[in-house]
Amino acid sequence: VYQLLGDIKLEFGDSHVTYATDTYLRELDLETATVRTKYVIEGIEFTREYFSSNPDQVLVTKLSTKKPGSLSFTLYFDSKMHHSSHAKGGGQIIIEGSCPGKRIPPRVYANDNPKGIQFSAILDLQIGGEKGVIETIDGKKLKVQDSDWAVLLLSASSSFDGPFVNPADSTKDPAATCLTTINSAKKIPYSEIYARHLEDYQKLFGRVTLQLSKNVKAYKANTPHSTACGLHHLEKNGNAFASKTSTGLPKSSMPGRNDSGLVSTADRVKTFKIDEDPSLVTLLFHYGRYLLISCSRPGTQIANLQGIWNKDIEPPW
């Protein structure tokens, strides 16, 4: 059973409590395995990008703003597992902890509880801009002020040494593994990490195509965001949106369509019995491929029915 590592917490203070809801957009690009979020506050556009790099073994987040010096936030790490964390000067948070040796709530440790798998993670913070500074708060948090952009790199490792090795007998050092990984990754510019991620991911994702559209020319002409294969899933104003192709229905009759031609995923499902939109089938097919490519690679654990995104320490099953 997979256990939770933890959560990266970002606090933006009062400045981000209110934003222009009609500017909010969240997008998952299946062709690049990248999530992007955009929104506008007091005329300033903020952007976040997320991806998981297999070549460099780090989770990557980039936060940026179009107005220099307007990015400020507090960063810390939390976990439901037994753990300790501390922030280092220079922009790092180090986490070390352990899973329970048997499936019991982590706060119900007994003296005879067997040793569980040990884990470690390092969160590295880099910022840019003439005025940007990083401060350490309470020995556990990092505070960024007046930066142009920030890049977060997260490396994580555990003492798991295969299904036939008792956790108590493992000789793997997760802290040393994390340190080696993060020291290597932080020397690489963000643009290069992203390029390496794209090359690795697209070698697998680009091996398969699926064309179910009845009219290829109309499909390409009517797909927003210039994605001929329609491999975007978006959310706007908190609702899910995805690229929409020609359906045979009059534009005015498509429920949920916004000014940019995007239709919510929920509405696409509702109208599927009417239009039998083949691009929705294509989108779901490629979404499944994206999940498998992203969650399991040679040398790692296989994908299972639980998935690695289970939020509970003790799932119902």
**44-74 residue pLDDT tens:** 999 999 999 999 999 999 999 999 999 999 9
Give the whole-angstrom CA distance, residue 269 versus residue 55.
36
3-class secondary structure for 204-232?
Answer: HHCCCCCCCCCCHHHHHHHCHHHCCCCCE
Burial label, 164 (beta-carbon count in 10 A; 0-12, 13-18, 19+): exposed
Token duo for residue 306: 């639980």
pLDDT tens, residue by residue, 78-111: 988 888 999 987 799 999 998 876 655 555 554 5
Please give the share of the chain, as a percent, with pLDDT higher than 90.
Answer: 50
Give this prediction's pTM. 0.81
Asked if residue 34 lies in contact with residue 49, where contact means CB atoms within 8 angstroms, the answer is yes
Give the whole-angstrom CA distance, residue 276 versus residue 268.
9
Give the whole-angstrom CA distance, residue 307 versus residue 317.
13
pLDDT surpassing 90 at residue 26: no
Cα–Cα distances in Å, from 12 out to 16, 44, 49, 70, 163? 6, 14, 17, 11, 42
pLDDT surpassing 50 at residue 219: no
Asked if residue 281 lies in contact with residue 259, where contact means CB atoms within 8 angstroms, the answer is no
Predicted local distance difference test score (pLDDT) of residue 266: 72
Q: How much is the average pLDDT of 177-194? A: 97
Task: Tell me the domain boundaries of the chain.
Answer: 7-20+45-188, 216-291
**Residue 28 neighbours by CB distance under 10 Å:** 19
Query: Mutual orientation of helices 278-295 and 190-205 as an angle, nearest 10°?
Result: 120
Fold of 7-20+45-188: Beta-galactosidase; Chain A, domain 5 (2.70.98)
Predicted local distance difference test score (pLDDT) of residue 232: 60
